[in-house]
Amino acid sequence: MRATALPQFEMLELDGVGREFAGVAALSDLNLRIAKGEFVSLLGPSGCGKSTALNCISGLLPPTSGSVNLDGQAIHNVPPERRGFGMVFQNYALFPHLNVRENVGFGLRMQRLPKSQVAPRVEKALDRVQLLSLGNRRPGQLSGGQQQRVAIARALVLEPQLMLMDEPLSNLDAKLRREMRTEIRRLHDDLGLTTIYVTHDQEEALSLSDRIVVLRDGTTQQVGTPDQVFMHPANAFVAGFMGYRNSFSMTLSRASGLPILSGEGLQLESTGVDEVMDGPVEVRIRPDDVDPQLHVNQLQVLCDVVEYQGKHFEVLGRLPSGQEVLLRTSEPVKPGDTITCGVSPDRVLVFPKDTEGVNDAPDGSNHPDIMVPTP
């Protein structure tokens, strides 16, 4: 039996990993250390380099700079077929000419395991993803969710020491996505896997991960636990991506003795200004933190669009200055109503305003305040 060329690792290290295509950097300077057993998500919008990073780790795409190391040893000489990493692709990449059993057993057959050893392992893998009854079907006869479970079983049956998952849930409907999400984490825990998970869905990343790496245009924006990334985003981009959808251009001034944010006809207080200098800033607030019951940091909002969400209403409105505001309220409102809301000062995030505009920088190279806590 041809085994993997790599020994069991304790630490996977990405050291300045970058990948260029025709002079354009799809990924730059990714530094990350992942311990055995961790579940790490690479999170970001399309084109941020997360899939590129995954492909560099798998070996399918050699990095143009930096190196991927296992326990200090660079593995760039080890081809992907000898790394023993499991990979689940976004569109599953199931072999259409083989049935489910043959798909799942493929890796074991490539190792030239005798059929008597392949069959029980395949059955066990199928059982783990609850697909025992569909063993003889072809991928074309399966639903999306079933195909995805076959793809997972196919990777798991080889007992890989590292699982790489490239947006495995993005082609499924919302309900199935939530169910499979739990399944994936359960398998990770039960089997003691190490998982690197690529997604653009912040909710998925928050619920699944031990740590999240937020990427944009190939560069790392923040690395942290879900709580760190959610409650203390490192910059305005991460804040926006994690759901701080209200964005106000304001000015911070301590001239009066206390730090005051002014702009858009508002005067706001925030507890998060200690590290920020006076001057133009970007203020970020979550829609669910804009509360009609609060009276501090008052905003007067003219409601334009009201969306019923069952337990609450999502409201798109305007300040008197014309600035758009998103808020959430459980009290019924109608378009045309004016409501007064407040925001707690500790939920007002303040970021220095980039001269280029942090949200608009095309190459993403100018990012102040990137917080990278050591893993």
Partner 1 sequence: MLPGILFIAALFVYPCIYGIMLSFQTTKGVPTLSNYAKFFTDPYLRDTIQNTFRIALPATLFNVIVSVPLAMGMLQRPNASRWVNTLIIIPITLGTVLVAEGLLNYLGPLGWLNRVLMATGLIDQPVDVLHTYKAVIISLIITGFPFSYLLVLSYLSGINPKLGEAARMLGASSGQRFWFVTLPLLAPGLAITFCLAFVLAFSVFPSANLLGNPSGDSHVLSVAAAQAAFEQYNYPLASTISVITAVVELLIIGVVLGWRNRLFRGSTAGTKG
Unique residue bearing structure tokens 């869905």? 201
**Residue 274: closest CA among 366, 374, 372, 369:** 369
* Binding test (CB under 8 A) with partner 1, winner from 46, 115, 133, 140: 140
Q: Which residue, 82 or 312, has its beta carbon nearer to partner 1?
A: 82
* Binding test (CB under 8 A) with partner 1, winner from 93, 187, 319, 370: 93
CA distance 39 to 226: 11
* Binding test (CB under 8 A) with partner 1, winner from 10, 16, 37, 60: 60
Q: Which residue, 2 or 186, has its beta carbon nearer to partner 1?
A: 2
Binders of partner 1 among 155-194, rule CB under 8 A?
155, 158, 164, 171
Binders of partner 1 among 39-58, rule CB under 8 A?
58
Judged by CB under 8 A, the number of residues near partner 1 is: 36
Stretch that binds partner 1, among 153-161, 197-205, 236-244, 348-356 (CB under 8 A): 153-161
CA distance 264 to 144: 47
The secondary structure of 49-115 as a DSSP string is: SHHHHHHHHHTSS--SEEEEEETTEE-TTS-GGGS-EEEE-TT----TTS-HHHHHTHHHHHTT--H
* Binding test (CB under 8 A) with partner 1, winner from 15, 36, 64, 82: 82
Binders of partner 1 among 100-139, rule CB under 8 A?
106-107, 109-111, 138-139
Buried-state track 216-233, b at ≥16 Cβ within 10 A, e below 16: bbbbbbbbbebebbbeeb
The secondary structure of 151-214 as a DSSP string is: HHHHHHTT--SEEEEESTTTTS-HHHHHHHHHHHHHHHHHHT--EEEEES-HHHHHHH-SEEEE
Stretch that binds partner 1, among 95-103, 192-200, 219-227, 269-277 (CB under 8 A): 95-103
Beta bridge partners of 198: 42, 166
Unique residue bearing structure tokens 């709580």? 227
Unique residue bearing structure tokens 């020994």? 7
- Pair 50, 44: CB distance under 8 Å: yes
* Binding test (CB under 8 A) with partner 1, winner from 11, 80, 187, 342: 80
- Pair 16, 30: CB distance under 8 Å: yes
* Binding test (CB under 8 A) with partner 1, winner from 9, 39, 92, 248: 92
197: contact with partner 1 by CB under 8 A: no
Closest approach, Cβ 1 to partner 1, in A, equals 10
CA distance 142 to 148: 9
CA distance 263 to 66: 44
Closest approach, Cβ 122 to partner 1, in A, equals 13
Q: Which residue, 61 or 242, has its beta carbon nearer to partner 1?
A: 61
* Binding test (CB under 8 A) with partner 1, winner from 94, 125, 268, 325: 94
Stretch that binds partner 1, among 7-15, 92-100, 310-318, 351-359 (CB under 8 A): 92-100
Which positions touch partner 1 (CB under 8 A)? 2, 4, 58, 60, 79-82, 84-87, 89-97, 106-107, 109-111, 138-140, 144, 147, 154-155, 158, 164, 171
